[in-house]
Chains A and B, each alone.
Chain A
Amino acid sequence: MNGALDIGYPQLALSLLFVLLAGFASLRLRLGLGRDLLWGTLRTVSQLALLTVVLTWVFEVRHWPVILGMYALMILFASRIIRARVRSTTIRFFFPTFFSMLFSYMLVSYVVVDVIVEVRPWYRPEYFLPIGGMVIGNSMNAVAISIDRLFNDLLRRRGEVELLLCLGADSRQASADMFREAIRAGMIPSINSMMGVGLVFIPGMMTGQILAGSDPLVAVKYQIMVMLMLVGSTALGSVLVISLVRRRCFSRDHRLIIRAVDRGRKST
C-alpha cells in the first residue's frame, strides 16, 4: 500500500462548506457562534499549515538535545494550559507541575520508543515527538483534573483536615483522603477510555494509521501500546504532581494554608 489518497486543494476548499453549514445554523438559530467559527477555522488552517513547516524541519533534525528541548517546550505549553484550567487559589503550582510532567512523561516516552517500539536511534523525531505529544495531551487533562480536585477538596473539607491536624495528624495523614480522591479523579477518564476503546470509538491514531495504509494489525498493536502507555503516564504524572502540590498547600509546621482566590476561573 502506498499511503492515503491525496486530497486536492479545490477539494479541500470544498470542506469549508461544512463550516458554512455550521455558520448558517448559527445565524438562523441566533447561536452567536459566527465569530468563533470564523476565528476557529482560520486558526485550524493556519496552525496546521505552520505545523507542516515545523514538522518538515523537525523531522530533519537528528540531534537529541534539540528534540528533547522541543519536547520540554510542549510540556511548558501544557503546564500553562493546566494553570489556566485549575481554579484560582493562593497556591502556585506551575513549576511543580512542569517538572513532574517533564520527568514522568519523558521517562514513559523514552521507554516506549526505545524498549517497546525499538526505534533506532531512540530520539528519531517522527516517533518520539508524536508519541510524546499523545502522552502529554492525554495526561495533561488528568493532571488538571487532579489538581482542581485536590484544591476543591482541601477548601471544601477544611474543617475535616483541621480536625485531623488538631488530633495530632501530620499534613500527609490529614489530607490522605483528598490525595487519593484527586489521583482517582484524574485516572478515571483514561481507565474509562480503556473500557470503551474499539466498542464506543476508534482512536484517532489507529484511524490515521489505517488511512495512511498501515496493516490494521500493526495499527492495533500500536493502539494497545498507546492506551497502556497513557494509563501509566497518567498515573505516574498525577502521583508526582499531586505529591508536590499537596506539600505546597501546607506550611512546614503542618498548617493548611490554601485559600480560595475570588477571581473565578481564568479562561485559556
Chain B
Amino acid sequence: MLIHGPSGSGKSTLLRVLARLEALSAGNILLDGREATDIAAPEYRRRVAYLQQMPVMTDGNIRDNLLLSFRYHDASPPDDDMLRRHLEELALYDVVLDAPATELSVGQQQRLALLRLLLMQPSVLLLDEPVASLDAASAEQLMHAVARECEARGLTVIIVSHQEIGVPGQHLRRLHLRNGRIEEEG
C-alpha cells in the first residue's frame, strides 16, 4: 500500500501511530483481527516493523547493528555467512561486518536498516519516506528489495511518500492523504 500526500497531511503521523510510537486519538488498530492494544508493545513492534525516515545506526559495527533486535528476544541470531547472503540480496556486496556502520553511505545504511527489520521476521513493514534521502539508483535497489521480500514472505508493506515512487509489484493499493483525511483511493 502506498500513501501519498503533501507535507503536513499526516502521512508520517499515521505511520507512527501504526507503529505505536504515537498515541491513537480515535479508532483502533487491528493486527490479524486482534486489537493492537491487547498485544504488548514490544511484541507488536516486532511484528509491525517500522523503518525510520533517516536510518539510525548505533556506535557498533555492522554486525552489531544488524543483530540489535536479538538483544530483546530469544531467537538465535543468524551467522555471518547468512548475514552476508542477506546483504547481497540487498545489493550490498563485500560488506565488512566488523566495520563501523556509520561509515556507510546513507543509501547503504537505509538498506542495512531494512535488513535489520527483516531479520525480526515481521508480518507488516512500515516505511516512512524510504527513498527521500536516496539517489535514484539506491532508491530503485531499495524498492526492488522491498518488493521481493513482499512477494517471498507474504509481507504487508505500507509506504508513505510525498513524491511519486515506482513500486514494482502487482497488488498495490494507493491512498491519497490531505489534512489528515483519505481523499482518494485507487
A168 in contact with B19 (CB, 8 Å): no
CB nearest to A250 among chain B residues: B41
A166 touches B54 (CB 8 A): no
| Contact A255 B22, beta carbon cutoff 8 Å | yes
Indicate whether A251 reaches chain B with its CB closer than 8 angstroms: yes
Q: Which B-chain residue is minimally distant from A161 (CB atoms)? A: B56
* Bound-state Cα–Cα, A173 to B73, Å: 12
Complex interface: chain B residues within 8 A of A167 (CB): 45-46, 68-69, 72, 116-117, 120
| CB <8 Å contact, B21 and A162 | yes
- B177 interfacial contact with A, CB 8 Å: no
Q: Once the chains are docked, how many angstroms separate the CA of A41 from the CA of B54? A: 54
- In the complex, B20 has a CB within 8 A of chain A: yes
Size of interface on A: residues with Cβ below 8 Å to B: 17
Given contacts A165-B21, A167-B120, A251-B23, contact A159 B42 (CB under 8 A): no
Are the CB atoms of B41 and A166 closer together than 8 Å? no
Report if B58 contacts A (CB, 8 A): yes
From B22, B49, B68, B117, contact of A164 by CB (8 A): B68
| Distance between Cα atoms of A164 and B69 in the complex (Å) | 8
Which residues of B are found within 8 Å of A170, using beta-carbon distances? 41-42, 72
A164 to B120, CA, bound (A): 13
Is there a chain A Cβ closer than 8 Å to B37's Cβ?
yes
> Judging by beta carbons under 8 Å apart, are A169 and B49 in contact?
no
Question: How many contacts A-B (CB < 8 Å)?
Answer: 60
- State the Cβ distance, B3 to closest chain A Cβ, in Å: 19
**Residue of B at shortest CB range from A157?**
B56
For A255, what are the chain B residues with a Cβ–Cβ distance below 8 Å? 20-23, 41
Check A159–B52 contact: CB distance below 8 A.
yes
Residues of B within 8 A of A168 (CB): 42-43, 45-46, 69, 72-73, 120
Tell me the residues in window 126-185 of chain A with beta carbons closer than 8 Å to chain B beta carbons: 159-160, 162-170, 173
Within 8 Å of chain B (Cβ to Cβ): is A85?
A: no
> B71 in the interface, Cβ–Cβ < 8 Å?
yes
B36 → A minimal CB distance (Å): 9
Inter-subunit contact B52/A162 (CB<8 Å): yes
CA–CA, A167 and B52, complex, Å:
11
Contact assessment for A253 and B54 in the assembled complex, using a CB-CB cutoff below 8 Å: no
Among B42, B69, B120, point to the contact of A254 (Cβ < 8 A): B42
Cβ proximity bits B109-129 to A, threshold 8 Å, 1 near / 0 not: 000000011001000000000
Whether A166 contacts B71 by the Cβ 8 Å rule is no
Q: Which one of A162, A253, A254, A255 has the greatest number of beta carbons of chain B within 10 Å?
A: A253
- CB-based closest 8 A-B pairs: A167-B69, A168-B72, A253-B41, A168-B46, A254-B41, A163-B56, A159-B56, A168-B42
Complex A-B: 12 CB contacts under 8 Å = A159-B56, A164-B68, A166-B19, A166-B21, A166-B45, A166-B49, A167-B68, A167-B117, A168-B73, A168-B120, A173-B71, A255-B41
Add 5 more A-B contacts to A167-B46, A167-B120, A173-B72 (CB < 8 A).
A159-B54, A166-B21, A167-B45, A169-B71, A253-B20
